[in-house]
Amino acid sequence: MPPLDTGIAVTLNVSAGAVASVQIRSTRLTQASRLLAGRTADQVATILPTVYALCGTAQGLAAAAAIEAAAGVVPSPAQRMARRFLLQLETVGEHALGILRDWPELLDEPPELAAAKPLRPMLAAAKRGLYPDGDWAKAGGGRLAINPGTLIELMRQVEDVAARIFAGSPETWLREPVLFHAWVRRGETIAARLLRRILDGGLAGFGRSPVPLMPEAGPPDLTWRLAGDRDGSYVTRPDTAGMPLETGSLARQADVPLIAELLVEHGHGLIARFAARLVEIAEALRELEELVLDLSDDAGAPGAIAGSGIGFGLIDAARGLLVHRVELEEGVVRRYQILAPTEWNFHPDGPLRRGLVGVAAGPDLAWRARLLAAALDPCVACSVEVVEYA
């Protein structure tokens, strides 16, 4: 049996004072979804969120969307709203967990565990507060019965998270980039201090890459590439017309004035990527506050999905575009494929490699590479090794 401890290993080969080449090896199980063949839609809804628990909400919702599309089932507006609420809450939680648990290490500080601790329980509480039967990932829709008390408490916790990251309202920067710079200059939160270290170290444009950003509707050739991917090479090393793409916060927030300005000034590098993550949290928080007022009960879909067809589920997961594709025959899965964001961003010729080849070596090279990996936000552990050639 191969080992199950999957991860990404990055090796930087240094020669003549610069990074001559970069190898990215992934031992991630990119084709594990094949084994879903032969199972029913309801079984998929149970297995996927547990097997992919770390981004389980996005995985469960992508599965529901793909199965519904295949079976020709349209979820009600109430279901769509509740799902969007859970998805945005997971995005806030995953981004916040990265900032509070992982960013301190980049500043040689201990993780902010007390602040990170409520994040995952928050999401579990939201699922219980919306879908008391636990069927939030059911294709067609589970039984929605809103518990207002849970939601009020949840929104209070979300505000606490925002305060811990921003220490103030991030709303203003979205309109006024100059206020973002003032926050980076003076802010005392871990996020403000990491961005300040990047700017002060002259690293704002570090890791700049020419890799194009993922279009909002996904790769233009997605449909036929996935259909033809019998050996799994596409979902392991995806490209579009031979070129990898960058997915995630930067691709999604590139048109926000602050990010657009940072892109012009520094390119697709560290500062634009980290700032895009912060903007995404702010946008998601704003959306959560609107959505919470509109959530409503819904009986859900009676019985199991019985249709046949091919369906796609495209979901903006915290780390980028998550795609599920299912071939369904009378409610039973015949073929199941998953294309995850990390396969784009940590592609052997993707934005991480392009951002590191040619950069100057030096004692802090491994740290700079770890910064870039953190900015591209892998969903598994990522190790960095520097090898010197004479």
Question: Applying CB under 8 A, which residues contact another protein?
Answer: 1-7, 28-32, 34-35, 46-47, 50-56, 59, 97, 101, 113, 116-118, 120-121, 124, 338, 340, 342, 378-381
Q: Closest separation between CB of residue 124 and another protein, Å? A: 7
CB of 97 to another protein, least distance (A): 8
Q: Considering the complex, what minimum distance in angstroms separates the CB of residue 122 from another protein?
A: 9
**Exposure of 80 by Cβ count < 10 A (0-12 exposed, 13-18 middle, 19+ buried)?**
middle
Using the minimum distance from each CB to another protein, give the nearer residue, 56 or 307.
56
Nearer to another protein, 51 or 227 (CB): 51
Q: Measured from the CB of residue 199, what is the shortest distance to another protein in angstroms? A: 27
Measure the CA–CA gap between 378 and 382, rounded to whole angstroms. 7
What's the min distance (Å) between Cβ of 262 and another protein?
A: 27
Output the CA angle 324-329-330, nearest 5 degrees: 120
By beta-carbon proximity to another protein, the closer residue of 84 and 101 is 101
Chain centroid to CA 5: how far?
Answer: 20
Task: Give the shortest CB-96-to-another protein separation in angstroms.
Answer: 12
Nearer to another protein by Cβ, of 30 and 263: the residue is 30
The contacts of residue 361 (CB under 8 Å, 6+ apart) are 14, 17, 18, 19, 386, 388
* Phi, psi for 258 (deg, rounded to 5): -60, -45
Q: Which CB, 18 or 29, lies closer to another protein?
A: 29
Q: List the strands of the sheet with 309-317, edge to edge.
A: 309-317, 320-329, 332-339
- Nearest residue (CB) to another protein, 73 versus 116: 116
